Structure 1
Amino acid sequence: MTDYVVIETDEAFVEACRILSGGSGPVAVDVERASGFRYSQRAYLVQVFRRDAGAFLFDPIPLTSFAPLQEAIGAEEWVFHAASQDLPSLHELQLEPARVFDTELAARLLGYERVGLAAVVERALGIVLAKEHSAADWSTRPLPNTWLEYAELDVLHLIDVRDFIAAELAETGKTEFAAQEFEATRIRPPRPPREEPWRRLSGLHQVRGAKNLAVARELWQAREDYAREVDVSPGRLVPDRALIAALMAAPPSKGALAAVTAFTGRASRSQLDRWWAAIERGRERTDLPRERVPSDTPPPPRAWADRNPEADARLKAARQVVEAHAEELGMPVENLLTPETLRRVAWEPPTVIDVDTIGQALAEREARPWQIEETAQRIADAFVEAAQTPAEPSDPAS
């Protein structure tokens, strides 16, 4: 078996970057994280391949700066499989591609039934890749040789796959579609933090009363702070279900909290003082959270017929034509236009319905120019037709 070398000194890194700068054509890049194990989404391995240069595995933890890599390949096209997953970790390393090509996103636009890397490599090149280490804890040191083999294979064939898919995009007239999608992925800003992220606790729907919600908020924040401190995924410290169980038990004392059977996790007992202090803080808070949070999102479509029958008619008519056109183009409907975008435009349409106003509404919801060109006229026609068609009476039995 080949012994794979991980570059972990600045001197070796600079030499590898010199070799990469002398390679030819696009550069394949991949990142391994420790999602589900660590709190952060930092990169624990960066893999790079370029023709006439070879493949390199970089350990970002001991390296001082990735500036030599940016200088070596920054102006070239960076090839990813699912770029949106890797770009945030690369941004943390100050690695900023000037252009990207995303083989996973392109495969979706081409209508591939399976778009995972192994499936796409097999379809394009007839090469079978093993994917048994995709969910591994890449913060492990030293990294096992079998993991490193897997990591290198993630980039070794990616340029050949890129060329195969680029030819298919050209043959199907989707090169420009893909280019706009790639650029949107490259420049997409990070999602803003949620206003009340603790409300995403699984099982929170069981909690009743503002005072209990205040305790849930404090428990979530205490776990978040500790997870950040020790760099461990919050759910590995104390699962959501355990936090909710501790809250629902309403323990009168720290000892009673320790006796809650369902309060489990690697830190549930060792950090008992932390959790009890959070419960006490929550019970003492006077700035209680709202029991119901107002939302600017439309209600579920199943409720539209009763709450807004005109919007329901618009959505049904437009969804039908958009789905039909996605089938004509040979791609999933969500890649032609996200269902959320269509729902929002159908719920709150422009005052005047025509191709320009619908196009503007789609653009305001970050639809790309190619998506607008392919759907705006169809949606406008569907909205107009829905307005002219008498609504069918709803069936009280349904």
Structure 2
Amino acid sequence: MSSDTTKGEDEATEQAPLPVLTEPAEGTPAVITRESELVDCAAAIAEGSGPVALDAERASGYRYGQSAYLVQVRREGSGTWLIDPVYLPDLEPLDRAIGTGEWILHAATQDLACLRDVGLTPRQIFDTELGARLLGIPRVGLAAVIEHYLGISLAKEHSAVDWSTRPLPEPWLRYAALDVEVLTEVRNLMGADLAIQGKSEWARQEFNALLTWRPAVREDPWRRTSGLHKIRQPRVLATVRELWWERDRIARDRDTAPGRVIPDAALVEIALADPSASGDLPRGHRSIQRSQRAWLDAVRRARSLSEDELPAATVKSDGPPPQRSWPNRDPIAAERLAATRAQLADFAEEHTIPVENVCSPDPLRRVVWTPPSEDTPEGFAASLASHGVRQWQQEIVAPMLAEAFAAHPDG
């Protein structure tokens, strides 16, 4: 056989499409909507063995908030169950059935809050996305992780649909069931890899931290309005703020995503126009015309505010200054940070892990800018811990910081 032929066959093998996971092993289960069915589900899960794979589908971009509109659960010996939390908003029977059993989630922080809202609270977690990051797997989406471990493809064509739709179409339910179909198998293979790479303890600490994780509560959420960076006048900022809160009220009342009430760009346009009557409102947005009175009332409220009530153009951060200013403001701190980051990059490359998973940039900058009184590994470890850095990370990063400070002492 010629070398050219062999090469062609090798390329064909490499490019051959992966088999696609299209059907749950036991078929697509019916959706549970009655208490009696939930009791049966809980009993089946309690009789199963091993960890429990869970997932939730939300209606992000369609509904107000981040509520779960479908919960999927699967356990060895119990099969897959699909539960409708619209009809069953309290899944406490299922929570009791799982008990202290391990949850398997992919990208846990996306679903933990909405699962807690329906009465499900984890006691142990294994996050396959976070595990993939610790292992240095290049792509960490669920489909990519399944491909990596099982050599099969998982279709994701329904990931962005409106899960508040009722009844849910059968293809969507099939997709939802497949999301938990092979999570246990992936978890077991990933657990073995973590042990082989000496990262099991790292993963344990990261997973334990998820048990107390809560979504950050943003102060002044209106400051995330797209296009706000173009505005510096306090009065116009106040108008955007009033419009943002008015939109939020309307969205909550309609149970729809705020962006579907009116886009950010339209809020900014209204604020810049400073309208006094409906004829002054910007044209071209149907959403502006639909709620003219609400937008005009919001503008009037902003106009009536005193100077003391106007928002500042910028919000002072409680952290260090922007890193680009460090060489001028504190060149020694800049050198210490650069030296530590260089060591971190080498460590991350050697251990095949993203550097941000060894230590997030924010706590590192905070500790370098405002170091502990004792620039020892123990002192740095305590300071890192105060910013939420895990023990395994402290053990790696604290000696690096001590070395950087020793190499770049105060003048």
- Following superposition, the deviation at residue 268 of structure 1 comes to 2.1
Letter in 2 for 1:170: A
The answer for the alignment partner of 1:395 in structure 2 is none
Q: Write out per-residue CA displacement over residues 25-83 of structure 1, whole angstroms, 9 at most, x where no aligned residue.
A: 11000000011111110100000000111001000001152111011112110100111
For the structure 1 residues 3 and 375, does the alpha-carbon distance in structure 2 shift closer, same or farther, using more than 3 Å as the test? Answer: closer
For the structure 1 residues 64 and 316, does the alpha-carbon distance in structure 2 shift closer, same or farther, using more than 3 Å as the test? Answer: closer
The answer for the alignment partner of 1:180 in structure 2 is 205
For the structure 1 residues 309 and 242, does the alpha-carbon distance in structure 2 shift closer, same or farther, using more than 3 Å as the test? Answer: same
Q: C-alpha root-mean-square deviation of aligned residues, in Å? A: 1.5
The answer for the alignment partner of 2:170 in structure 1 is 145
- Following superposition, the deviation at residue 323 of structure 1 comes to 1.2
SS in 2 for 1:208: coil
For the structure 1 residues 155 and 374, does the alpha-carbon distance in structure 2 shift closer, same or farther, using more than 3 Å as the test? Answer: same
1:256 lines up with 2:280 in the alignment: yes
- Following superposition, the deviation at residue 382 of structure 1 comes to 1.4
Contact 2:54 2:71 in 1 (8 A): yes
1:303 lines up with 2:325 in the alignment: yes
Contact 2:113 2:214 in 1 (8 A): no
Where in structure 2 are the equivalents of 1:251-290 lying within 5 Å? Answer: 251-257=275-281, 260-262=282-284, 264=285, 267-286=287-306, 287-290=309-312
Given the alignment, which residue of 79, 96, 110 partners 2:104?
79
Given the alignment, which residue of 347, 351, 362 partners 1:329?
351
Contact 1:28 1:50 in 2 (8 A): yes
Q: Write out per-residue CA displacement over residues 215-274 of structure 1, whole angstroms, 9 at most, x where no aligned residue.
A: 1111011001111111111112111111001111222322211xx135x25x32221111
Contact 2:235 2:303 in 1 (8 A): yes
Where in structure 2 are the equivalents of 1:7-156 lying within 5 Å? Answer: 7-63=32-88, 65-156=90-181
Q: Write out per-residue CA displacement over residues 89-133 of structure 1, whole angstroms, 9 at most, x where no aligned residue.
A: 011012101101111100100000011101111111112100111
- Following superposition, the deviation at residue 288 of structure 1 comes to 1.7
Contact 2:129 2:141 in 1 (8 A): yes
- Following superposition, the deviation at residue 326 of structure 1 comes to 1.3
Given the alignment, which residue of 360, 383, 387 partners 1:338?
360
Given the alignment, which residue of 223, 235, 240 partners 1:199?
223
For the structure 1 residues 27 and 3, does the alpha-carbon distance in structure 2 shift closer, same or farther, using more than 3 Å as the test? Answer: closer
Q: What is the alpha-carbon distance in structure 2 between the residues aligned to residue 122 and residue 293 of structure 1?
A: 44
- Following superposition, the deviation at residue 351 of structure 1 comes to 2.8
For the structure 1 residues 64 and 115, does the alpha-carbon distance in structure 2 shift closer, same or farther, using more than 3 Å as the test? Answer: closer
Name the stretch that deviates more: 246-255 or 375-384. 246-255
Contact 2:50 2:75 in 1 (8 A): yes
The answer for the alignment partner of 1:211 in structure 2 is 235
Letter in 1 for 2:225: L
SS in 2 for 1:330: coil
Q: Write out per-residue CA displacement over residues 360-396 of structure 1, whole angstroms, 9 at most, x where no aligned residue.
A: 11001100010011111112101211227x9xxxxxx
- Following superposition, the deviation at residue 4 of structure 1 comes to 4.1
- Following superposition, the deviation at residue 293 of structure 1 comes to 2.1
- Following superposition, the deviation at residue 3 of structure 1 comes to 5.3
SS in 2 for 1:269: helix
- Following superposition, the deviation at residue 314 of structure 1 comes to 0.9
1:169 lines up with 2:228 in the alignment: no
The answer for the alignment partner of 1:221 in structure 2 is 245
SS in 2 for 1:314: helix
Contact 1:210 1:290 in 2 (8 A): yes
Identity %, equivalent residues: 47
Give the TM-score of the pair, scaled to structure 1: 0.93
Letter in 2 for 1:285: L
Q: Write out per-residue CA displacement over residues 154-187 of structure 1, whole angstroms, 9 at most, x where no aligned residue.
A: 0010000000000001111111100000010121
Aligned length: 384
Structure 1: where are the runs of 5+ without partners? 391-398
- Following superposition, the deviation at residue 144 of structure 1 comes to 1.1
Contact 1:133 1:150 in 2 (8 A): yes
The answer for the alignment partner of 2:7 in structure 1 is none
The answer for the alignment partner of 2:372 in structure 1 is 350
Q: What is the alpha-carbon distance in structure 2 between the residues aligned to residue 226 and residue 55 of structure 1?
A: 38
Letter in 2 for 1:89: C
For the structure 1 residues 298 and 84, does the alpha-carbon distance in structure 2 shift closer, same or farther, using more than 3 Å as the test? Answer: same
Q: What is the alpha-carbon distance in structure 1 between the residues aligned to residue 170 and residue 95 of structure 2?
A: 27
For the structure 1 residues 115 and 64, does the alpha-carbon distance in structure 2 shift closer, same or farther, using more than 3 Å as the test? Answer: closer
The answer for the alignment partner of 1:380 in structure 2 is 402
Contact 2:45 2:78 in 1 (8 A): yes
Q: What is the alpha-carbon distance in structure 2 between the residues aligned to residue 64 and residue 363 of structure 1?
A: 37
SS in 2 for 1:122: helix
Letter in 2 for 1:379: L
Contact 1:321 1:382 in 2 (8 A): no
Contact 1:4 1:145 in 2 (8 A): no
SS in 1 for 2:137: coil
Q: Write out per-residue CA displacement over residues 295-353 of structure 1, whole angstroms, 9 at most, x where no aligned residue.
A: 22222212111121111111111110111111122100010100111111111112331
- Following superposition, the deviation at residue 85 of structure 1 comes to 0.9
Structure 2: where are the runs of 5+ without partners? 1-22
Give the TM-score of the pair, scaled to structure 2: 0.90
